[in-house]
Amino acid sequence: MAAYLQWRRFVFFDRETVKEPAGPDGGAAGGGKPYALPPGVTVCDSGRGSLVFGDMEGQIWFLSRSLQLSSFQAYKLRVTHLHQLKQHSILASVGEDEEGINPLVKVWNLEKRYGGNPFCTRIFQAIPGNKPTVVSCLTVHENLNFMAIGFADGSVVLTEGDITQDRHSKTQILHEGNYPVTGLAFRQSGKITHLFVVTTENIQSYMLSGKEYPRLELDTRGCGLRCSTLSDPSQDLQFIVAGNECVYLYQPDERGPCFAFEGQKLIVHWYRGYLIIVSKDRKSSPKSEFAGSDTQNSDKQILNVYDLCNKFIAYSSVFDDVVDVLAEWGSLYVLTRDGKIHALQEKDTQTKLEALGLEKSIAMEKTLRKTQDENGLKNRVIRVGTRKSQLARIQTDSVVEMLRKRYLNLHFEIVAMSTTGDKILDTALSKIGEKSLFTKELENALERNEVDLVVHSLKDLPTSLPPGFTIGAICKRENPHDAVIFHPKNYEETLNSLPEKSVIGTSSLRRAAQLKRRFPHLEFRDIRGNLNTRLKKLDEKEDFSAIILAAAGLRRMGWENRIGQILNPEDCLYAVGQGALAVEVRARDEEILDMVSALHDGETVLCCIAERAFMRHLEGGCSVPVAVSTMLKDSQLYLTGAVYSLDGSDSLKDTMQTDVNYPQQNEEGPNDNTQYVGITAKNIPRHAQEAAENLGVELASLLLSKGAKRILNVARQLNDAR
């Protein structure tokens, strides 16, 4: 047992009261007044870029980072429980539509709208065995396959299957007991799922991966409501239960260590390697039940931020009557009963190290760092952003697996989200007019510190990134060429042998322009959707004789057997960056930047620098047909680049080469964070990166001198007019 009074105390967080936003002209519209929460808030949660509140009037509120408040009527009477999924735009709620004990569970899809409000995908009564009883707690598994509801009569109801739909799930009473259920938490380790159940008097775990759901009692002590939480992998995903004398940690099969943190616990949360505990301040006098709303009569409560691994208190402060503590946008937010929001922003690593230096403790300094290997990321869960598509997840999994092999003691969490390009499926990409179709939402999450890095297909990233971002790694390139997938009736054909007027599906102006020129007997038509959708359109209909896709994506999906023809450069040059995966990070996040830089593949980086420089100097994009092909051989970097009219009848194409003296590395990479077309690569010689960038610029300049600007301008105008 460790006594917290012996632990050192630091001030590793800055506290600030959230103020009303400035007016549209930059003036203080709110006069710098503290931001006020909606009245009557009964329950809170956070996730997906918002703080979420439920109130006594049945409304659910969303507060954005810019302090824009929106709401909708979720229940006729009141909202009692909320659970916002972190990796999905799904919100589960419990509330009441009529008087009496008749709680209703509603599941909301926040990305779909019905009558202007989030779409309610499911409604069902939260009553165990038709016995009216009060709901005490709610939790949902991030995989959307489990939901658990705890009740004051000691019951736990488990929903298994797709929790967003009635038809694809089943509900049963998992647990019955004599004591009120005060906390629930799902724990996922590999393929094994456990559910922790804590009551006022005991703790048990259920293994949900088997058929019988075996139960194990872990302890004969419990805790109050909101006094339990699940740690992240830095603390081995342990279930934390806070009693008034000690805090206990549990694995699914045993009790772990305990800590002597005294005081009446009121709220417990876990945040990025820290244990957050709100306790009753022993110095404050008991609040009278007849006390008014004057803040002088409110309860004083103390918030402590503990680092259990390194055994110190990272922050401590007194608040008036805490409603809850939420984590979002890379910060903690303490909500108090007077309607105020207090932001706690963690200080940067250097400041924390300086504080430790004042303590003259080298050993403590070594253990403070939030990373374990060379870059200091211990106890920090690395959150990796990605698109939701199957291909994006496969690509992201491959990058995370490479990082895991290099950094055995780090923990990674994948956060999937939809982008603009994923949502707009009825318009050709070249017509949408947005430069960051598949990256904007991911970059927003990166900017808000909701994720630490983002995995992209490099071809989706503009050649000029938004300020504050950089490409920290480019992984070894997969086959960059395009592939032809034929309709089953044409599996023995090639593009050249297909009948006259055969229709070929492609969403790329680049592919269509080149192939119209090369195969004038074919017709080309736009096709949208992810790989699965496009293949389904090909196979199940007679609209297309074949479709064109990137070979790299097909191989990563394990669908190489569908490839009927690989298009060589003579038939079709590929897109800038095609086949390469990029890891985008915050440019000033040195720890993450250093960590991901180990994934750089030198040859791929130099080829892609040349390609991106060529594209940027031409001012190209997905709305004009620009194509490339690169090769690094015997220290010579070769770049072929071309521009085309939309119908392929007009084109310019040329090839240049330069000596990059790579991989003979006689020079170190840049010692600063110099970017070459948005790429930071300290481990690749500066002269090689400069030579690659100059090659791209010089080839673009050559084509521009021959009339490329005219071809591209006409292509843009015609595309806009279509």
Q: How many CA atoms lie within 13 A of 451 on its CB side?
A: 26
Q: Would you state the structure tokens that stand for residue 478, as one six-digit string?
A: 């997969």
Question: Whose structure tokens read 């038709």?
Answer: 130
Tell me the residue ranges of DSSP E strands in 308-452: 312-320, 322-328, 331-336, 341-346, 381-387, 411-417
Cis peptide bond upstream of 286, omega within 30: no
Q: Which one of the listed residues 45, 460, 482, 601 is annotated catalytic?
A: 460
Residue 176, both tokens: 């019955």
Q: Please give the single-letter amino acid code of residue 103.
A: P
Examine residue 663 and say whether the peptide bond preceding it is cis (omega within 30 degrees of 0). yes
What residue type is assigned to position 573 of the chain? L
Closest CA to 315 of 7, 540, 711, 691: 7
Is 460 among the residues known to form the active site? yes
d(CA 245, CA 1): 11
What is the identity of the amino acid at 13? Answer: F
Q: Give me the amino acid identity at 388.
A: K
Asked if residues 163 and 126 have their Cβ atoms less than 8 Å apart, the reply is no
d(CA 59, CA 74): 5
Amino acid identity, residue 476?
K
Residue indicated by tokens 């090639």? 494
Share of the chain residues as helix, strand and coil, in percent rounded to the nearest 5: 20, 35, 40
Q: Please say whether the beta carbons of 678 and 463 come within 8 A.
A: yes
Tokens of 720: 């806009």
Task: Give me the torsion for CA of 132, 136, 137, 138, rounded to 10°.
Answer: 20
Could you tell me how many residues make up the chain?
722
38 CB burial (10 A radius; 0-12, 13-18, 19+)? middle
CA dihedral sign, ordered 104, 108, 114, 116: positive
As a whole number of angstroms, the distance between CA 603 and CA 341 comes to 50
Q: Which of 657, 615, 634 is nearest to 510 (CA)?
A: 615
Tell me the catalytic residues: 460
